[in-house]
Amino acid sequence: MDIKNRLFWVAAFVGVVLDQITKQWIVRTFELTESRPIWDGVFHFTYVTNTGAAFSLFSESGTWLRWLSLLVSVGLVLLAWVGPAMNRWEQAGYGFILAGALGNGIDRFFAGEVVDFLDFRLIRFPVFNLADVFINVGIVCLLIAAFHKPPQAKANSR
């Protein structure tokens, strides 16, 4: 059976599973606000929660963020399912964005907050999670897709 946009589905599935497994491990292993150095002063696992979006933006807006993540997820599933066949970069990009939207959306719907734990202290970056990483990786993949056109597309655009 040939599945259209197979890489999209694989990236989304693997991403959601990894995101949820790591968050569950943190919740079961750490106390809230507990931090353990992996590389002291550089990278720690720090268990915090976030009711907002990236970097705690819109912290008081948890309800609409739930619905936004659901809307984005449904839109991406429809794009991959009924939309055109995508190139590999587009499939990976949209699949990783779906993984991030679903991963954080699951947290928002079931707990009302998102579990964050990746803490890069060396650069004083806000604590985040794998879903956030997947969204950013997806954006990079889509940027590559936008600038990397197949040879026939370049020839046709002249």
> Quick one: pLDDT band at residue 51, thresholds 50, 70, 90?
confident
Active site residue 107: no
Residue 158's pLDDT is 47
**pLDDT tens sequence across 93-132:** 999 999 999 999 999 999 999 999 999 999 999 999 999 9
Q: Is residue 110 part of a domain?
A: yes
Burial zone of 126 (CB within 10 Å; 0-12 exposed, 13-18 middle, 19+ buried): middle
**The domain containing residue 75 runs over which residues?**
40-146
Active site residue 19: no
Q: Is residue 135 part of a domain?
A: yes
Q: Is residue 130 part of a domain?
A: yes
Domain count, the chain: 1
Q: Is residue 85 part of a domain?
A: yes
Q: Is residue 3 part of a domain?
A: no
> Quick one: pLDDT band at residue 61, thresholds 50, 70, 90?
low
Q: Is residue 18 part of a domain?
A: no
Q: What is the pTM of this model?
A: 0.86
Q: Is residue 102 part of a domain?
A: yes
